[in-house]
Amino acid sequence: MDQGGEFVNASDAEVNSYSNDRCRQALISDVSSVARIHLDAFEGFFLSELGYGFLCVMYRAFLVNPAGVFVVHESKDGQVTGFAVGALSSGQKDRWLALRFLPQFLLAALPAIFRRPRMIVTRLASRFFETGSSLDLPKDAALLRSIGVLSSERGGGAAGGLLEAFEQIALRQGATHVYLTTDQDNNERAQKFYKRSGYSLAECFQQDGQRSMWLMSKLLRGVVHE
């Protein structure tokens, strides 16, 4: 269920122009909107290729995860226009949750599997059954999996608001740090956004043996890390 650093580019103004009273915790009724936002924000990415049905299953799984952190951003008229999702570091619990939903995931992914069976099955297996390549995070950390904002709403501050809302909820749930992954190459805008938000490079690594990634981290405000 790791989304591999999928991120919608934010403008330099995003960090300080948010309105956090428009961010709230996600509900089951938001799943359909979040899946559509994902398709709009991450066109051409692997998870988008798996389709709307797969994304609905995935985001429902995040919602039922007791360690999940899932927030949405609403427009002034109450429409969901963005989301941020992740979880407290829980090791095998994430994998157990993925396996619990495995039949639904596979059923939803069937159309994509029929189109490109070898690639899709290989990538899915690496996500659900990977061993040794998972990120080893502290137990008191939260991992931000993804931020997505509708393309029509970019530059309005939603990404910055979602990031802060995610951090606040993670802090209330006991996290002292937030970690995230983002692409290393051709990704300066997103890297700059995270740096301006207080994140720093913690590690470079290879995802799926070929995609160069950054692991970034931030110490949450008000927390003293011993």
* Domain boundaries, given as residue ranges, for the chain: 12-219
Predicted local distance difference test score (pLDDT) of residue 71 = 97
Helix (H/G/I), strand (E/B), else coil: 70: strand
Predicted local distance difference test score (pLDDT) of residue 141 = 93
* Number of residues assigned to the chain: 226
Alpha-carbon span 176 to 196, nearest angstrom: 19
Predicted local distance difference test score (pLDDT) of residue 97 = 66
The pTM score is 0.82
Predicted local distance difference test score (pLDDT) of residue 25 = 94
Predicted local distance difference test score (pLDDT) of residue 94 = 59
Helix (H/G/I), strand (E/B), else coil: 45: coil
Predicted local distance difference test score (pLDDT) of residue 171 = 93
* Cβ proximity of 186 and 166 under 8 Å: no
Measure CA of the first residue to CA of the last residue in the chain; give whole Å: 31
Domain 12-219 in this protein, CATH class: alpha beta
pLDDT digits (tens, 9 = 90+) for 139-164: 889 999 999 999 888 878 899 999 99
Predicted local distance difference test score (pLDDT) of residue 165 = 96
Q: Which portions of the chain are predicted below pLDDT 50?
A: 1-19, 131-133, 224-226
Q: Inter-axis angle of helices 92-100 and 117-129, to 10 degrees?
A: 130
